[in-house]
């Protein structure tokens, strides 16, 4: 199936630091990424990424999940995105699992970045999982989000070595450098309409 986003309007969902959001915003600002960040949503009012978005003059929304069940919260997020006619949703350190109803509302229109070479080490603490397993290489993955945990079709991956003296902090930092290049590039590839999903494979045309 060819993926053809109807516009270049993207929405970012984040919960914390926001360094991937910053990389995306810098990509847009420099012209390297042809996209418009039409909305930044955070479930955490104190997320540094939310403040960064405000400082950049972007439209931001904080939605608290307190007292809401998952479906209700997700519907509120989805409504904000639909209202701004978002064509592609980019999860950037969004620390919530999206409900099947949300995913079904945006088929093949949600991307995530994960700090491991999926399908290895899905879920939390991926860098520590990689260290504990003793792998020699790890990295990061940008993938479409489906109803599985970090299991959707893979758009791009980058590899980093795991060094003998690494701890979770040093490995995370090495991976993060790659994330910041990989995510804007993957978003650009998807927005440009060059992706085709064939089963589990994402085929990218030049």
User: Which amino acids are annotated catalytic?
Assistant: 114
Smallest separation (angstroms) from ligand GRF to the CB of 106: 18
Rounded distance between C-alpha atoms, residue 14 and residue 42, angstroms: 5
Q: Are 183 and 142 in contact (CB under 8 A)?
A: yes
Q: Are 4 and 80 in contact (CB under 8 A)?
A: no
Q: Is 13 helix (H, G, I), strand (E, B) or coil?
A: strand
Chain position whose Cβ is nearest to ligand GRF: 93
Of residues 20 and 129, the one with the C-beta less far from ligand GRF: 20
Smallest separation (angstroms) from ligand GRF to the CB of 93: 3
Q: For residue 174, what are the CA distances in angstroms to 32, 52, 93, 181?
A: 22, 23, 17, 12
DSSP conformation class of 150: S
Cβ-based burial of 45 (10 A; exposed 0-12, middle 13-18, buried ≥19): exposed
Of residues 45 and 82, the one with the C-beta less far from ligand GRF: 45
Smallest separation (angstroms) from ligand GRF to the CB of 51: 12
Of residues 147 and 196, the one with the C-beta less far from ligand GRF: 147
Smallest separation (angstroms) from ligand GRF to the CB of 145: 11
Of residues 81 and 140, the one with the C-beta less far from ligand GRF: 140
CA 173 to chain centre: 17
Footprint of ligand GRF (CB under 6 A): 14, 16-20, 49, 92-93, 113-115, 140, 176, 179
């Amino acid at each position: 199936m060819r993926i053809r986003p109807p516009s270049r309007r993207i929405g970012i969902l984040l919960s914390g630091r926001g360094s991937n959001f910053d990389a995306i915003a810098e990509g847009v600002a420099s012209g390297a990424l042809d996209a418009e960040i039409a909305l930044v949503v955070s479930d955490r009012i104190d997320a540094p990424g939310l403040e960064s978005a405000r400082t950049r003059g972007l439209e931001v929304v904080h939605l608290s999940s307190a007292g809401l069940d998952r479906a209700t919260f997700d519907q509120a997020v989805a409504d904000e995105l639909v209202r701004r006619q978002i064509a592609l949703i980019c999860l950037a350190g969004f620390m919530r699992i999206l409900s099947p109803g949300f995913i079904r509302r945006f088929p093949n229109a949600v991307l995530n970045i994960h700090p491991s070479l999926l399908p290895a080490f899905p879920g939390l603490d991926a860098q520590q999982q990689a260290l504990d397993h003793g792998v020699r290489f790890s990295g990061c993955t940008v993938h479409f989000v489906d109803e599985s945990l970090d299991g959707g079709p893979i758009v791009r991956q980058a590899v980093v070595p795991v060094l003998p003296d690494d701890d979770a902090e040093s490995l995370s930092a090495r991976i993060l450098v790659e994330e910041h290049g990989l995510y804007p590039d993957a978003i650009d590839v998807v927005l440009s309409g060059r992706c085709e999903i064939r089963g589990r494979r994402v085929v990218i045309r030049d």
